[in-house]
Structure 1
Amino acid sequence: MKENEILREQISEIVKNQLENNDPPETKIIYNQLTNTGYNDFQTRQMIGQCVAVELFEIIKMSKPFDNDRYIKNLKNLPKEPFE
């Protein structure tokens, strides 16, 4: 399996766990808001996954700690792409 596919699956699993565990609760809130405005499950999970990817990049490539405030901010700005 290619590295990108592995990473995509891991991000998908993170999103799934956040939704199932309601942790952070903002993930489920934003998920519900997006699906209620017409985005399907796949699209919504992809958007949330982009926010996860931003955090993973900061952790892995930039050696920065997870920034929960930035993550929540990016979630709340969806469907706009996370920029930070």
Structure 2
Amino acid sequence: MKNGYKVIEIIDNQLNENGHECTKETYERLIELGYSDVQAKQKMGQVMVQEMKVMLKNEEAFNEDRYCEKLKDLT
């Protein structure tokens, strides 16, 4: 569970920093859909973990565009 908290911290940081509009928009949309704060961040964290796996597997840099597209698909 310790690692799960680190992913949530990443999401929290994105929500609190400038330059992460897709993260903020996704969070607000999920809250409007009825998800709790924790549920919304967990869903977004799952996308973050998927993106990190792709990065490691393909030995590539974080792809902000791909990450944002996956966030937009969350319902």
Determine if the TM-score, normalized by the shorter chain, exceeds 0.5: yes
1:74 aligns with 2:70: yes
Aligned to 1:82: none
Query: Of 11, 15, 21, which aligns to 2:11?
Result: 15
Query: In the alignment, residue 55 of structure 2 is paired with which amino acid?
Result: I
Query: Of 22, 36, 41, which aligns to 2:37?
Result: 41
Matched position secondary structure for 2:58: coil
Give the TM-score of the pair, scaled to structure 1: 0.79
How many Å separate the matches in 2 of 1:55 and 1:48?
11
C-alpha displacement at 1:58, in angstroms?
Answer: 1.6
Query: In the alignment, residue 25 of structure 2 is paired with which amino acid?
Result: I
Number of aligned residues: 75
Q: Percent identity?
A: 35
How many Å separate the matches in 2 of 1:25 and 1:58?
22
Give the TM-score of the pair, scaled to structure 2: 0.87
Query: In the alignment, residue 55 of structure 1 is paired with which amino acid?
Result: E
Moved more, 55-64 or 65-74: 55-64
Matched position secondary structure for 1:61: helix
User: Higher helix share goes to which structure?
Assistant: 2
How many Å separate the matches in 2 of 1:72 and 1:57?
16
- Tell me which stretches of 4 or more aligned residues in structure 1 moved more than 4 Å: none
Q: Is the 8 A contact 1:26 1:75 kept in 2?
A: yes
How many Å separate the matches in 1 of 2:54 and 2:10?
16
How many Å separate the matches in 1 of 2:18 and 2:29?
15
Aligned to 1:24: 20
